[in-house]
Structure 1
Amino acid sequence: MSETPIKVVVVTDGVVGHENQSIGLCKWLERRWNLDVSVANVQLREKALSRLLLPKLLPEDSRAARRILKLFYETPELPDEADLVISTGGNSSFANILVASMLGCPNIYLGSLRRLNPRRINVHMTLEPTGYKNNLVMTMSPNLVDPKAVLDAGSSLLKRRKLDGTLWTLIIGGTGAGFDYGEQEWRLLATWANSMAEKYGIRWLLTTSRRTGGKGESVLKEHLKPEHIAYAVWWDSEPKKELLALIGAGTQVFTTADSMSMMTESIASSRPTTVVALPTHRANERYRAAMDRFARLGLCRLIQLSDETYCPPIPAMSFDLSTVIDQTLDQLEYRLAC
């Protein structure tokens, strides 16, 4: 490991799932290199208009890039120099390119290109191939999950809440990634959860997310039977960051299919994971291919939700996170010539 730290700027839009992937990648990189990481939280102004204009306004000149960044983003003070820029998610993608141009360093981007010019990204990390030379195809998205820490947090939660019996975890997202939730979908999910609890004699450890919203939570609370819920985090009314503890506390983990970060964090925890997809959705081809690939590699089970869908418990996945990380780092080292 080099004694001279590699200066990394993580550009984030503040979305937890996005930021966790970028910081997670830094944690992976720190297995081999000494990093000096700074985080720049940027907020895109006038999002609809900016997304339309910015793909055509990404200059390579450092001064011009600085002007464009200040015009379209609310930004903190940035470092004067860096060796690498990392970001995840569409709202930070333009800032990633602009900051890399300003500081004259390579960049890594995790997420969909959409209308971005791939030539402006040194390494584009995705779960499915894009066909471009700069594309690094990952088995698993980076995250902050430490399987042992997840189990320890789960044990602590069980003791603190005095929970016992057979407990399964249900992680609920909401509209996103081509999955649309209305009252009918929320009611279907609640009915399915009740049926699963009754058939297998379990109780749920449940958490919603910011995308569930108040309306979604109201429908779920109305239709979920209280006797089937051991513990619940209702994010809209009382948010608690207990996701990893809930994953570690359940002997089986079920997560809705509308969040790639929820899926990958569940899988990376090494808990038996089932991904629950709505009967109909508009997820794009690459997103569906990523889910299918997870299932094909034996990393999770993928099911389509209905009130007659029953899912017996599955064994723990034979998933070696260290091997996945090493393979990713080997590819990054080659591409960035670190």
Structure 2
Amino acid sequence: MTAKTILLLSDGRPGHYRQSEAIVLALSRRMETKIARIELIKPRIVPRRLARYAARWLPPRLVLAWLYGLTTTPKADLIVSAGGNTLAANIALSQLTGTPNVFTGTPRHVGGGKFSLVLTPYKSQASLPNSAYALKPCALDPDAFAAPKRWPAAPFRIAVFIGGPIPSADFQDADWLALGELMRTMARTYDVRFIVITSRRTPDAFYLALDPIVGRKDIVDRFIDHRQAGTGSIAEGYAADAIFATSDSMSMITEGVAARRPVIVLTPAVTKPFRDNEAVDSLAADKRLAVLPVREATPEQVAAKLATLEPMKENHLDRLADIVAAALTRR
């Protein structure tokens, strides 16, 4: 069978191009694939909204040359991209070559009609033209991990994925102290041990707040410190029986759900409305996760949530491949 060439358009942002890579990975479970990649360079002087209007009204060759400096149109069997800065190029290349195209994100000011498929984590947008609801694509393969124990099996391991403060989830010292106390009391109340995993955004305040417990093996089984090489792999977290994730990172939350683990999303006291709240609320409604304010959460509340959550049974990569394949068949 001849390999299908998938043209991946990247804006250089890991949070975007990794979603496209996940689509390629999902499709590779169904067919032989090879990737052609274009790193897009969009002039900063062009506002994103103007670029999107250009994709609607200007000739595609002009869009590619003017916005991205592209003068060639590579051939492919499928175009994939994520992120607003790739949107105009995705549309223009599809129009020029007749190639089906997939976009992950929100096609503001353009609409789904310019794509073969728009993947959205927001159920409110799944009914729009050529759109389908799915987890934000991620490359994590849950089949790589043994099935988790079900609460209240003992011993029980919980991975704690730590992000950092952002405007919509402003974690402060008191939130980190509350998290440390929650872990301490859970370890004392139940046969629970934690794997703590930090990230590039994790602030010094977290390390100071958790310092009294990270060295205690009766509480923290593993401490995977982003600041230090050789402390462990993030994959160890996805092999745990359940996951805590701070609410600032939709990527961590999505990967926890994709790993087929029950996920507890911990929120700070200071929050603001954010678009991804809709995606979190949908997953909560499906019992994939529960949301708890970290300063108010108790071991008993966490235990009750862990007992009622219903992790995914299917492999999200297979479902993603099915959604994309179905859209291409309809084209």
TM interval, shorter chain, is 0.7 to 0.9
Query: Contact (CA 8 Å) 2:80, 2:101: kept in 1 or not?
Result: yes
Paired position in structure 2 for 1:157:
none
What TM-score does the superposition give when structure 2 sets the normalisation length?
A: 0.78
Query: Contact (CA 8 Å) 1:66, 1:102: kept in 2 or not?
Result: no
What TM-score does the superposition give when structure 1 sets the normalisation length?
A: 0.77
Shift of 1:136: 1.0
In structure 2, relative to structure 1, the CA distance for the partners of 1:20 and 1:90 (3 Å cut) is same
Output one character per residue of 1:124-169: Cα deviation in whole Å (capped at 9) or x when no partner: 111223252121122x3332222231349x9xxxxxxxxx965321
- Mean Cα deviation higher: 222-231 or 289-298: 222-231
Identity of aligned residues (%): 22
Matched, 1:97 2:91: yes
Paired position in structure 1 for 2:298:
309
Paired position in structure 2 for 1:336:
328
In structure 2, relative to structure 1, the CA distance for the partners of 1:68 and 1:295 (3 Å cut) is same
Q: C-alpha distance in 1, partners of 2:16/2:213?
A: 30
Query: Contact (CA 8 Å) 1:191, 1:224: kept in 2 or not?
Result: no
Q: Matched residue of 1:205: which SS?
A: strand
Q: Which runs of 5+ in 1 are unaligned?
A: 155-163
Matched, 1:264 2:264: no
Paired position in structure 2 for 1:160:
none
Query: Contact (CA 8 Å) 1:189, 1:305: kept in 2 or not?
Result: yes
Shift of 1:207: 1.0
Q: Matched residue of 1:231: which SS?
A: strand
Paired position in structure 1 for 2:118:
124
Q: Matched residue of 2:303: which SS?
A: coil
Please show how residues 83-162 of structure 1 align to structure 2 within 5 Å.
Answer: 83-101=77-95, 103-127=97-121, 128-130=123-125, 131-138=127-134, 140-151=135-146
Q: C-alpha distance in 2, partners of 1:27/1:170?
A: 27
User: What amino acid maps onto 2:9 in structure 1?
Assistant: V
Query: Contact (CA 8 Å) 1:69, 1:98: kept in 2 or not?
Result: no
In structure 2, relative to structure 1, the CA distance for the partners of 1:129 and 1:332 (3 Å cut) is farther
Output one character per residue of 1:182-227: Cα deviation in whole Å (capped at 9) or x when no partner: 4444344334333333333533211122232x44544444565532
RMSD: 3.5
Query: Contact (CA 8 Å) 2:43, 2:68: kept in 1 or not?
Result: no
Shift of 1:172: 1.2
Answer 1 or 2: higher relative contact order, Cα 8 Å, separation at least 6.
Answer: 2
Q: C-alpha distance in 2, partners of 1:225/1:31?
A: 40
Question: Alignment partner for residue 288 of structure 1, among 273, 277, 284?
Answer: 277
Output one character per residue of 1:35-71: Cα deviation in whole Å (capped at 9) or x when no partner: 2222334355538x64354233336534212213435
Question: Alignment partner for residue 57 of structure 1, among 34, 39, 54?
Answer: 54
Paired position in structure 1 for 2:6:
8
Paired position in structure 2 for 1:161:
none
Query: Contact (CA 8 Å) 2:23, 2:321: kept in 1 or not?
Result: no
Q: C-alpha distance in 2, partners of 1:320/1:95?
A: 36
Query: Contact (CA 8 Å) 1:187, 1:223: kept in 2 or not?
Result: no
In structure 2, relative to structure 1, the CA distance for the partners of 1:64 and 1:45 (3 Å cut) is closer
Shift of 1:255: 1.3
User: What amino acid maps onto 2:314 in structure 1?
Assistant: L
Q: C-alpha distance in 2, partners of 1:133/1:241?
A: 44
- Mean Cα deviation higher: 169-178 or 236-245: 236-245
Count of aligned pairs: 316
Q: Which runs of 5+ in 2 are unaligned?
A: 149-153
In structure 2, relative to structure 1, the CA distance for the partners of 1:54 and 1:195 (3 Å cut) is farther
Question: Alignment partner for residue 160 of structure 2, among 158, 166, 170?
Answer: 170
In structure 2, relative to structure 1, the CA distance for the partners of 1:305 and 1:116 (3 Å cut) is farther
